Chain A
């Protein structure tokens, strides 16, 4: 078991997400930086879907009440196990009674804390991903974030060999990322000038961003004529509302919407966006769908991601 001594700014339980319920209006949830999340599980030999804590900004302090093994990935922050400083992107053994303290992010925005075996949290609709706007998931089941005093159990089996993620696979969150845009949806309806501008202008991440959407500020983009009826919105969709400031839809997005969309951000790039602090810049560059699909295939294969498919029963009803 671990006990939350201080939940910090915000910490939530996340597994890979709640799949198969979009047609009922229930969104996916799950880690907004899938790359960092999947590395943490991989470092511990966990299933890709094992539940972790998503720590926004930092400030978390926990006490381990049993021996185990854990890993911390994501944003660059100071971390200590008792008084010993810890390196991120590495697995560690821990003894009952030891305290892990995560400082505030210096670069990046979210950290992932995984334990070997994963946190044991009662799933709701096949997932324990915390989605506040849907009032579902998490430790209490109602979508609320973790609080001081909460305890989470886990079953630790055999100790793991020491592993770390090589620098080549980590993201440098201080850099201005260039994210791939897969043209799609109403892309062809936007004026040519907008399609080009989106891929050479810089945009700034606005502070009104959250797990539902990341709002960008930049030169206003002209939108095509309105009058779209609501349609499915994928994670990473680039919506352009009438004020011309794009919003990139994240894991807690609404399932349907009626704003025109330029396309969808390459899913293997999306974690970099999720790690940007307000005020940081971001750039976009067109990527062919077939290239993004190939990259996603490799990404899922590398991390052994098996999407839950529901068979022919009209998915989950």
Chain B
């Protein structure tokens, strides 16, 4: 890699006890692979000096213990790890071994209040939207916003819609939504501004369980359309938005 094009890696200060490392721009599976590879390396090399690590699309947030590490030391160490990563041939196929989660979705205007409008705006039929949304695998690019919330991408161009002008104050748990190049499931009741096209009966965040969430960055997700009966048998609720 020549110096002329090396805007990345870019490291910025993110407070008195954190730095943010960018390895690229925008939404790019290769960049996200490198972020995950770097996350693992940073975790094993520096684990005892860190108190949290948050990978996202193209960045890795590193929260460190100021009592055991200085920002300069951390930056130097991270740069070294990035160099090693590049020498070792980058991501070493992180996404190939990643888990695949299948999520059953009941796509219907009764639980997907934006489904009909989405059909109009995309000039697709409702079936066309369902087909397009279920046809491909998505990648978990980031986990966050709320517990168990997985940012999935990328949606086919045809399905990309802007966020709502006025976010809803209350969205039922399990709502499946799309916005721009992203799709996601709202794991718990929350406010939100994405377009809701269906609902899943699956639990993606259970505060009483041991495991916070079945998904992690780098995993793959595929949606599967199910009937109303199947949805209800799986424990799905038809309760409407309030």
Interface set of A (CB-CB < 8 Å, partner B): 19-26, 124-125, 133-136, 141-143, 182-185, 229-232, 234-237, 254-257, 263-264, 266-267, 289-290, 292-293, 295-297, 300-301, 307-315, 317
Collect the chain B residues with CB atoms within 8 Å of residue A235's CB: 15
Which residue on B lies nearest to A264, using beta carbons?
Answer: B15
Whether B67 contacts A314 by the Cβ 8 Å rule is: no
Shortest distance in angstroms between A132's beta carbon and chain B's nearest beta carbon? 11
Name 8 A/B residue pairs within 8 A (Cβ), A-sorted. Answer: A20-B52, A22-B61, A22-B144, A25-B146, A230-B142, A256-B54, A256-B142, A293-B17
Query: Are A229 and B145 within 8 A (Cβ)?
Result: no
Instruction: Give Cα distance in the complex from A2 to B13, angstroms.
Output: 44
Is B95 engaged at the interface, CB distance under 8 Å to the other chain? no
B58, CB-defined interface residue at 8 Å: yes
A25 near B144: Cβ-Cβ < 8 Å: yes
Known: A141-B208, A295-B16. 10 other contacts (CB 8 A): A124-B207, A125-B212, A135-B188, A135-B207, A136-B147, A230-B57, A234-B14, A293-B16, A296-B66, A307-B51
Task: Take A229-B27, A231-B20, A289-B16 as given contacts and tell me if A300 and B147 are in contact as well, using a CB distance cutoff of 8 Å.
Answer: no
Q: Chain A contacts of B98 at CB under 8 A?
A: none
Closest chain A residue to B72, Cβ basis: A290
CB pair B49 A309 closer than 8 Å: yes
Q: Considering the complex, which residues of chain B in the window 37-88 have a beta carbon less than 8 Å from any beta carbon of chain A?
A: 39-40, 43-45, 47-61, 63, 65-68, 70-71
Q: Is the CB of A134 within 8 A of B67?
A: no
- Residue with the greatest number of chain B CB neighbours at <10 A, chosen from A25, A293, A312, A317: A25
Interface residue from B16, B149, B151, B213 paired with A296 (Cβ < 8 Å)? B16
- Min C-beta distance of B179 to chain A, whole Å: 11
Number of A-B contacts (CB under 8 A): 181
Give the shortest distance, in Å, between B217 (CB) and chain A (any CB): 7
Q: Which of B12, B59, B149, B151 has the most CB of A within 10 A?
A: B12
Q: Assess the B66–A24 pair: CB atoms within 8 A.
A: no
| Number of B residues, CB within 8 Å of A | 55
Instruction: Across the interface, name the chain A residue whose C-beta is closest to B213.
Output: A24
Residues of chain B lying within 8 A (CB to CB) of residue A229: 26-27, 56-58
Contact A232 B48 (CB under 8 A): no
List the A residue with the shortest CB-CB distance to B58.
A229
Whether B47 contacts A310 by the Cβ 8 Å rule is: yes
A271 to chain B, nearest CB (A): 14
Query: Do A182 and B47 form a contact, CB below 8 Å, given A133-B146, A307-B67, A309-B65?
Result: no
Check if B216 is an interface residue, CB within 8 A of chain A.
yes
Cβ-closest 7 pairs across A and B: A232-B61, A256-B144, A312-B47, A264-B15, A184-B13, A232-B54, A255-B144
Q: How many Å lie between the Cα of A90 and that of B70 in the bound state?
A: 35
Instruction: Please pick, from B18, B44, B66, B149, the residue contacting A234 in the complex, using a CB distance under 8 A.
Output: B18
Structural contact, B147 and A23, CB atoms closer than 8 A: no
Q: Is B236 an interface residue (CB 8 A)?
A: no
In the complex the two chains form, what is the Cα distance from A230 to B39 in whole Å? 17
In whole Å, how far is A267's beta carbon from the nearest beta carbon of chain B?
5
- Given contacts A134-B146, A254-B144, whether A182 and B16 have CB atoms under 8 Å apart is yes
Distance of A231 Cα from B20 Cα, bound (Å): 8
A229 to chain B minimum Cβ distance, whole angstroms, is 4
Closest Cβ of chain B to A311, distance in Å, is 5
Chain A hits for B207, CB < 8 A: 124, 134-136, 141-143
Taking a contact as CB atoms under 8 Å apart, the answer to whether A264 and B43 are in contact is no
**Residue from B55, B57, B149, B212 with most neighbouring chain A CB atoms (10 Å):** B212
- C-alpha spacing A25/B216, complex, angstroms: 10
Chain B, 128-155, contact with A by CB distance < 8 Å: what is the 0/1 string? 0000000000000011111111010000
Bound complex: CA A229 to CA B179 (Å): 13
**B47 pairs with A232, CB closer than 8 A:** no
Assess the A297–B43 pair: CB atoms within 8 A: no
Once the chains are docked, how many angstroms separate the CA of A77 from the CA of B95?
Answer: 56
Contact assessment for B51 and A184 in the assembled complex, using a CB-CB cutoff below 8 Å: no
Known contacts A230-B57, A267-B15, A307-B51; A256 and B40 CB within 8 A of each other = no
Q: Are B147 and A24 in contact (CB under 8 A)?
A: yes
Please, how many angstroms separate the alpha-carbon atoms of A301 and B52 in the complex?
20
Contacting residues, chain B, for A254 (C-beta < 8 A)? 144-146
Contacting pair B147 A20 (CB below 8 A): no
Cα(A220)–Cα(B65), bound, Å: 35
